[in-house]
Structures are given as structure tokens and as C-alpha cells.
Amino acid sequence: MIMHYSSNMFVNSILSTAIVTLVMSCLIPSSAIASSEWVGIASSEDDLMSFYVLKKSIKKSGNLVEVIEVVNTTRKNDPISLRVKQEYNCSDKKLRTMGGSLHSGHYGNGALISRLSPTPSDWKSFPVGSTASYIAEFICK
């Protein structure tokens, strides 16, 4: 089920995570992937941003789960996406960014715009009702 909420709430609850994600990174393959392999998790009410999880990327080890996520958006009629590898601690309700990349197409396709640092970020708590909480609910079950 895709969660919808206002852009302001969306920005306030997840923008800080996206900014951290833009600063952090590792090399994630950006081969063409059909959108049918992605599971929709959330989108803004205005549909300017949509969040997806690559189901086959989910790797569980005890309370820790790694997953590849993508944020698709369109700016000035041009598609753009942020593809990140995240690690979730399901018992502590925290996450950290393991790396990622920014692309000129949706789902991590298109030209590479920027790579994020391959150094894992610090663990961050995520609030109930945030996109991260919906992703955790999906991948931690």
C-alpha cells in the first residue's frame, strides 16, 4: 500500500534523511531495472516524489536489514532519482545510509549525476509516520 501525505509533512519528516543520503554513498550498480521489480512505499500528495524499495535487494541478518531504495521525482519535466542502499536496525528503529547515487532518470537509470560517499552514515532514529517507518514496516516483517 502506498502512503500519501502532504508535501510539507513529507519534506519535514524525511528531507533530513534525504540530505544525509545525498552526502553519504557507496557504489551501487545502476543497471536498467524494470519498475515492476520495485515496490511502491510512499508518495507526496502532489505526486512530485515517490519512494520505492527493490524487493529482491532485501537482506536480513538478525535485527539488521539492508535494502536498496529509490526516490523518483521530476524537476522541470526532467525525471531524476536518488538510489540509496540503507541499513535498518529493526529492533532499535534506526537506519543509516550505506551509499548511493543520483541519476538523470527514474529508478536509478539514466546518466550518473553524482555518487555519494561510500562511508556509512551514523545511525539515525526515524519518526513514526515517516517514509523510513513505512519502509521499515515493509522490510522488517
Cell of 42: 510512499
What pLDDT score does 30 carry?
A: 29
The helix or strand, by DSSP H or E, that contains position 17, with its residue range, turns out to be: helix 7-23
- CATH number of the domain bearing residue 84: 2.40.128.710
Express each pLDDT in 56-84 by its tens digit: 999 999 999 999 999 999 878 889 999 99
What pLDDT score does 2 carry?
A: 53
Domain that holds residue 32: 3-139
Going by pLDDT thresholds of 50, 70 and 90, the confidence category of residue 35 is low
Express each pLDDT in 93-128 by its tens digit: 999 999 999 999 999 999 999 999 889 999 999 999
Q: How many domains does the chain have?
A: 1
